[in-house]
Amino acid sequence: MILRKDSVPVTEAVSDYPEPYNLGRGFLSYRHLTEAGGLTQFGVALETLHPGKQSSQPHWEQHDDEFLYILEGALTVIENGVPTIIHPGDACCWKAGTAVAHTLKNNTDQPAVYLIAGSRNPENICRYPGLDLLATPQGYTHLDGTPYPTKGENE
C-alpha cells in the first residue's frame, strides 16, 4: 500500500495521563502512518511537536523499543535529566528494558517534525521515574498497583 504525502489525516494529540500528570491537548499533532497502512507489529507516526511544548512525561518502556528520526526543526531530548539538542538527520534509539527516561521538548518558536517508531508489545509496561505512575496493559496505576480512575469516574 502506498500512502501519498498528506493522505493520512492529522490528529491533534490529547494527553490521557491521569491527573496530576495530564498534558492537556494541543502539544503535538501526528499522522499515524502504520495505522493508515493496516500494520500491527510496529507503529510509526509523523509527529509535530509544537513550539514551547513537551511530548510526554519522562518515561522508558519495559518491552517496547523506540526510535526517533528528526526531519525538521530542533528538539531538546532529555535523557535521565540530561538535555541534548538534536537537528534534522539526527536519530535516537531507546532499547526496551533499558532504564533511560526520555522526553522531548521543543524550546524553539518553530514546529519540530520527526518520525517516531515503536514496537507494539501488548505486555509492555511504561515506567515514569520520579512519578507515582505506571502505564500497564490494564491502564494507568500508581506505583503500588492501585489503578487511577478512568476518565469519567471523577466527573
Give the count of domains, the chain: 1
Q: What pTM was computed for the model?
A: 0.91
CATH number at residue 42: 2.60.120.10
Could you tell me if residue 47 is inside a domain?
yes
Q: What is the pLDDT of residue 43?
A: 95
Q: What is the mean pLDDT of residues 62-78?
A: 98
Q: What is the mean pLDDT of residues 122-137?
A: 96
In order of 9, 10, 143, the CA distances from 95 in angstroms are 29, 28, 22
pLDDT tens, position by position, 39-57: 999 999 999 999 999 999 9
Could you tell me if residue 80 is inside a domain?
yes
Measured distance CA(77)–CA(105) in Å, rounded: 6
pLDDT tens, position by position, 1-24: 999 999 999 999 999 999 999 999
In degrees, rounded to 5, the angle at the alpha carbon of residue 63 between the alpha carbons of residues 116 and 117 is 10
In order of 1, 12, 120, the CA distances from 39 in angstroms are 10, 21, 10
Give me the domain span that covers residue 63: 11-123
Could you tell me if residue 133 is inside a domain?
no
Cell, residue 121: 508489545
pLDDT at residue 70 greater than cutoff 60: yes
Let me know: does 55 contact 84? Beta carbons within 8 Å: no
pLDDT at residue 155 greater than cutoff 90: no
In order of 7, 23, 81, 147, the CA distances from 100 in angstroms are 34, 21, 9, 24
The mean predicted confidence, pLDDT, of the chain is 94
